[in-house]
Structure 1
């Protein structure tokens, strides 16, 4: 059998890249019986027919990571792309992407794109908040050719999922990194100020510098139902995790409890009030979900 990686899946066919080229494969029926669905990014073993470059997926190897939305496997890092304007930077959504990435133990790079449209200090303020937490933040602009080289270095030899809402410029940035990709780009709706979806399916794209990127359909929401207990929410916020040992109570949720070091750090502005507000929103969301189920 031949080993390869699934780079695309459409209509029940899986396209597997191997050292001998790409094979169009179907999955064996046993996967359905075992409730296994091959995913983009899966490393697999296939039985091939070299005459017509077709084959069957015989084995899905153990996954290192698995994302639910988009459904992909073995990603090594996430690049979360937001835009300074058109659409405006949504910190609530950014933090949701970060929580999901933290849950999967992915290395995270935050890209704030379209900085040429921002004339305020807002982007610099956001840059400071997230770099102080410990995230790598890249400020980019395709028009100014800023941040492209830095992002290119971050992508080298990684398997990277590009995440972010529609219209922030994910495809445009990737086209700047590797012009021959010729990914379709979309414009912002003047009426809704939101982006139109341009990426129609999930596909691993091989980079000339080494590695793969996954340009995914845009998202507007992400479920947090993988968080089963309220006290787990804080684990996905690096700065809250950092200060939580200073709280009087080990079970502190950093909400209404007395002698809470996290709340003290918010008051001292060592923790962003916006991030703390998002933490409380996510905490309440998990509480509501638990009450329903």
Structure 2
């Protein structure tokens, strides 16, 4: 028996990286009976067939984490890549990605790519999100800005690169490791949005204990995984912090009186844009619960 990690899955075959090589495997039927599907990132135990030297996944070890979109396991951190321009940054979408990462209890780094196109805007955004409690790296794949800091952040982690298409995720990974040669795409002149170039989920090895996952881009993310409106407060770090000082424990930081969160928005300690996105998400969750 060999131990390994699933790095790719295509058409019912799973490619498991062991200490020596990558072995094409099938999953045992018992997993279907248990309603358990092997995922990229799963740590597994495999048996090698003497006949054709292919493998069979015999055991899936317990997962430390699991994402639904993309469907991967054992991710330790999320690198959320947004471009400053081409396409212009969408902070509503950025906050949506952050919400999902917070829900999954992942470490998060925000990567503001193409920062050379508008350094002032990048600096303002960096300040907003660092104040909110996030690590922010300003990068440029073309000018090799921030690449070494990004490499250090990836070290000894299994990282998922998330963000909409066109923000430069694949270009950044090509800079991190010149051997990747991932396909990159241009931004559509008509829609101002990126074209999908990553078509499947695959773990890419940087080092013995370092993997990255270049996931297909998303244009929207559902928030229906949040069951109660009050949960949302916990996934905005600065709102969670200041919300402890509100007059009412049940304060949702909307229309309630003596709300410390609204007070901090007025003082500029909480980004007005972040707060407005919070209210939009809150209304969305209310509507979901209503139906």
- TM-score range, shorter-chain basis? over 0.9
Runs of 4+ in 1 over 6 A off after TM superposition: none
Per-residue CA deviations over 1:20-68 (Å, capped at 9, x if unaligned) read: 3111111111111111111000011111126644111111111000000
* 1:103 aligned partner: 103
Whether 1:115 aligns to 2:115 is: yes
Whether 1:167 aligns to 2:166 is: yes
Going from structure 1 to structure 2, the CA distance change for 1:93 and 1:53 (only over 3 Å counts) comes to farther
Measured in 2, the distance between the counterparts of 1:277 and 1:93 equals 13
* 1:252 aligned partner: 251
Measured in 2, the distance between the counterparts of 1:192 and 1:128 equals 29
Measured in 1, the distance between the counterparts of 2:162 and 2:260 equals 33
Measured in 2, the distance between the counterparts of 1:2 and 1:288 equals 49
TM-score (norm 2): 0.97
* 2:151 aligned partner: 152
Measured in 2, the distance between the counterparts of 1:41 and 1:261 equals 41
Matches within 5 A, 1:185-224: 185-208=184-207, 210-224=209-223
Per-residue CA deviations over 1:206-243 (Å, capped at 9, x if unaligned) read: 00474000001111011111100000001000000001
Secondary structure class of the residue paired with 1:75: coil
**Structure 1 residue 195: Cα displacement:** 0.6
* 1:226 aligned partner: 225
Measured in 2, the distance between the counterparts of 1:162 and 1:29 equals 31
Whether 1:134 aligns to 2:133 is: yes
Measured in 2, the distance between the counterparts of 1:37 and 1:14 equals 11
Matches within 5 A, 1:175-190: 175-190=174-189
* 2:29 aligned partner: 29
Measured in 2, the distance between the counterparts of 1:215 and 1:221 equals 17
Measured in 2, the distance between the counterparts of 1:210 and 1:124 equals 32
**Structure 1 residue 143: Cα displacement:** 2.2
* 1:85 aligned partner: 85
Measured in 2, the distance between the counterparts of 1:125 and 1:189 equals 26
Q: Is this contact kept in 2: 1:85–1:117, CA < 8 A?
A: yes
Measured in 2, the distance between the counterparts of 1:143 and 1:21 equals 33
Measured in 2, the distance between the counterparts of 1:82 and 1:141 equals 11
Per-residue CA deviations over 1:124-179 (Å, capped at 9, x if unaligned) read: 11100111112110001122211001001101111000000001000001101101
Secondary structure class of the residue paired with 1:275: helix
Measured in 1, the distance between the counterparts of 2:207 and 2:244 equals 45
**Structure 1 residue 102: Cα displacement:** 0.7
Whether 1:2 aligns to 2:2 is: yes
Matches within 5 A, 1:271-282: 271-282=270-281
* 1:19 aligned partner: 19
**Structure 1 residue 246: Cα displacement:** 0.8
Measured in 1, the distance between the counterparts of 2:190 and 2:206 equals 36
* 2:261 aligned partner: 262
Q: Which runs of 5+ in 2 are unaligned?
A: none
Measured in 2, the distance between the counterparts of 1:270 and 1:123 equals 18
Measured in 2, the distance between the counterparts of 1:164 and 1:174 equals 13
